[in-house]
Amino acid sequence: MIFIVISLLLVSVFNPAESLAADRVRFAYPAKSLNYLPITIGRDKGMFQGEGIDLQLVLVASTIQVTALTTGDIDFSGAQSQVMAGAARGLPVKVVGFLTIKPSFWLMAKPEIKSMAELKGKIIGITAIGSSTDTLARFLVTKNGLTPDREVAFIGTGTTANILTAMKAGTVDAGVLSPPLQRNGDADGLSNLGLFR
């Protein structure tokens, strides 16, 4: 978060003439999550406005954020996995920082699933193929001896809120949830298979 704040502040430092009027900066985030709370609080408390930045937060699916960056529809993206993949493919995007030091996602499962081994033959809900939730889920199942796409399937739901809805509906057996949704899962009796750290 510090790197993004610094980069946003540099806009006003290196463009003092332009910073007299607030510059509109559009930050896209892929899901309603506490991971983006520092940005929201900073905007609501006037931190960005005080530096001449009119920060607009836009909810955009992670799968289209790199395209939106390259077309100029957004200025910054919270979809780090997609941005890094886009940069690796040579797209004109750059990673300037991360909001968190470590991922704050939990792998939650139906109440009857108590271990990673029990995910064999099951479906894990993620936000999108190539997203952070996808990358983390694939890492965790591989680390626990399961083969992604052969022993465990992954289905993109669009948002972490949709993952929780799909779990409750029985469409998926497990899912990668971010705060505060993992607390809702706890309240619903879902099994907490672990925090990604």
Domain check: are 79 and 118 in the same one? no
d(C-alpha 99, C-alpha 11), whole Å: 18
Q: Does residue 174 surpass a pLDDT of 60?
A: yes
Asked if residue 96 is part of any domain, the answer here is: no
Domain check: are 74 and 35 in the same one? yes
Asked if residue 99 is part of any domain, the answer here is: no
Lowest model confidence (mean pLDDT) among 16-20, 46-50, 61-65, 152-156: 16-20
How many domains is the chain built from? 2
Span 126-134, average pLDDT: 87
Q: How confident is the model at residue 194 (pLDDT cuts 50, 70, 90)?
A: confident
Span 127-135, average pLDDT: 86
Q: What is the pLDDT of residues 67-102, one digit of tens each?
A: 898 899 999 988 877 787 788 888 888 878 777 776
Last residue of a domain, one of 21, 54, 88: 88
Question: What pTM does this model have?
Answer: 0.64
Q: Does residue 58 surpass a pLDDT of 50?
A: yes
Contacts of 72 (CB under 8 A, 6+ apart): none
Asked if residue 30 is part of any domain, the answer here is: yes
pLDDT mean across residues, the chain: 82
Range of the domain at 110: 106-195
At 55 the pLDDT is 93
Domain check: are 55 and 123 in the same one? no
Domain check: are 118 and 170 in the same one? yes
CATH number of the domain residue 160 falls in: 3.40.190.10
Q: Count the neighbouring beta carbons within 10 Å of the beta carbon of residue 38.
A: 16
Q: How confident is the model at residue 195 (pLDDT cuts 50, 70, 90)?
A: low
Asked if residue 131 is part of any domain, the answer here is: yes
The residue among 3, 29, 30, 1 whose CA lies nearest residue 134 is: 30
Last residue of a domain, one of 88, 115, 138: 88
Alpha carbon of 173 to those of 107, 150, 166, 168, 180: distances in Å?
Answer: 11, 16, 8, 9, 19
Q: How confident is the model at residue 20 (pLDDT cuts 50, 70, 90)?
A: low
Torsion of the alpha carbons at 176, 180, 182 and 188, rounded to the nearest 10: -130
Domain check: are 79 and 143 in the same one? no
Q: Does residue 15 surpass a pLDDT of 80?
A: no
Last residue of a domain, one of 61, 88, 115: 88
At 92 the pLDDT is 86
Q: Does residue 193 surpass a pLDDT of 70?
A: yes
Asked if residue 100 is part of any domain, the answer here is: no
d(C-alpha 135, C-alpha 129), whole Å: 8
